[in-house]
Amino acid sequence: MRETTALGVDIYVAGWGHTRFGKLDDSLEDLVVASSSEAISAAGLEPGDIDAVFLGQFNSGIHPLGFAASLALQVSDDLFGVPATRVENACASGSAAVHQGVGALLAGTARSVLVVGAEKMSSASAATVGAGLLGADYEHAGSTSSTGFAGLFAAVARAYNDRHGDCSDTLAAIAAKSHANALSNPYAHLRKDLDEAFCRTVSERNPMVVDPLRRTDCSPVSDGAAALVLTISPSEYTRDGLVRLLGFGQANDFLPAPKRDPLAFAGSALAWQRALTMAGVTPGDLSFVELHDCFTIAELVLYEALGLTEPGQGLSAVRDGWPRRDGRLPINPSGGLKSKGHPVGATGVSQHVMAAMQLTATAGEMQLESPRIAAVHNMGGLAVANHVSVLAAL
C-alpha cells in the first residue's frame, strides 16, 4: 500500500447510513431520507456542509418516479440549492454514484459530498421488474420476462459447465456461504440458514428458476437504501471514524454479447487491475472483498476473472474454503447481493458501507478480525459496466 494515495488528495468515507433490505413498506423517499440523514449525522456534519449530492438509482420503469435526484434534499431545507444528480449505470449505479462523488472532490468543486443509492422494487410486478432489468441488456431490452437476468446468467453457468465441468454443487456451496454470512447482518433481506444440501436440491421451496440456476442461486428483488459521505475535510466528530480511499477503477465492456467472452468478465478484470494499481496493492494485501454476486455463478466466475484463482479453478477454491469468513480472503462477509439483497441502485453504495463498517470495527456480529484493506466490486449488466474501489482502515 502506498504511504500517500495516487489520488493527489486524501479522500475519506466519513459517515454512512443503511436501511434494512427486503420487501419494505417504506417509500422511495423514506428510504433516501433515512439513509442520507444518518450518513450526514454520522460524518459529524450538518446538511449545510454538503456541497453536492449523487443518487444512484437504476429504475428502468420499475418505479413511477423517474426523476429522484432531489429526494435527498428532503433531509433538510438547508440542502436547498445543492447540486443533486441522479447516476445510472445499471446494477453498478451505486458505485457509479460513489465514483462521481470522488470525481467532484478531485476536481475541487466540492469538499464534502453525499452519495445515496436507493431502489424501490417490491411494489412492481415480477413481469415489470424482469422487463426493467432486461433494459440493461443489449439483445433483450424491451422484451417481457418474469425471470429477467436469471436467463442470461444461466447461460453463463451452462458455458462454465461446458468449459470446466459441472459447477452445480459449487454454486450450492457459494449460496450456503452467503446465507451463513447474512445471518450476522441485521440489514440483510434473506437471513435464513440454508445449508449446502438445501441449496443443492431442487424442491418446492428451492425450484429451478432457469436451468441450472435454482432459487438459491439468485439474489432477491429488494427495496432499500444506503448512503455515505465522502470528504477531503473530515470532521473530528465522526460517529464511527474514517476510512481512506486508496484507489478506484472503472471499465466498460461492449454491449453486444457476441463481442464478450461470457466467462472472461473482461471489463471487471480491467477495473480491478486499475483500482489495485492506483492503490498500490495486490490481491494478497486484501483482508476481504465485497463483490457483485447477483447470481452464484457470477461469484464463481469473478474468483477467476479477478485473478483470485486460476481459470477453471474456482471449483477448488470453494472446496478449499478460502472465500469463507474464516478463510484467507473472505468474500462477501455481509452476505453479498445473494443474501443481503439487491435493491439495484443501492447495491454499490451498500457494498462501500459494509466495507467501511468492517474497516472501522463497527460491523457488529459481521466483524472480521482486524481487517486493514478491502476491495469493492460492482458491475452493471453482464459485466458491462464495472466499478472497483479499494478502501483502507486508518
Reported as a single tens digit per residue, the pLDDT across 287-318 is: 999 999 999 999 999 999 999 999 999 989 98
- Does the active-site annotation cover 294? no
- The model's pLDDT over 110-125, given as tens digits with 9 standing for 90+, comes to 999 999 999 999 999 9
Please write the tens of the pLDDT for every residue from 2-29: 556 788 899 999 999 999 999 999 999 9
What local confidence, expressed as pLDDT, does residue 126 receive? Answer: 87
Q: In 3-state terms, what secondary structure has residue 342?
A: coil
CA distance 252 to 239: 36
Query: Measured between alpha carbons, how far is 342 from 98 in angstroms, rounded to an integer?
Result: 17
Among the listed residues 91, 199, 218, 294, the single catalytic one is 91
Spatial neighbors of 259 by CB under 8 A, at least 6 apart, are 253
Q: Using pLDDT thresholds of 50, 70 and 90, give the confidence band for residue 97.
A: very high
Amino acid in the structure at residue 38: E
Catalytic residue among 18, 140, 179, 342: 342
Sort strands 84-87 and 52-56 into parallel, antiparallel or unpaired: parallel
Q: What is the pLDDT of residue 301?
A: 98
- Rounded to whole angstroms, the Cα distance separating 377 from 292 reads 6
Distance, in Å, from the CA atom of 122 to the CA atom of 223, rounded to the nearest integer, reads 6
β-pairing, 112-119 vs 52-56, is parallel
Say what the pLDDT of residue 146 is. Answer: 67
Tell me: the pLDDT tens digits for 376-393? 999 999 999 999 999 999
pLDDT (0 to 100) of residue 308: 97
Residue 81: all three cell numbers together: 440549492
| Per-residue cell: 242 | 474514517
Report the alpha-carbon distance of residue 97 to residue 35 in Å, rounded. Answer: 15
CA angle 314, 317, 322 (to 5 degrees): 140
Q: Is 218 a catalytic residue?
A: no
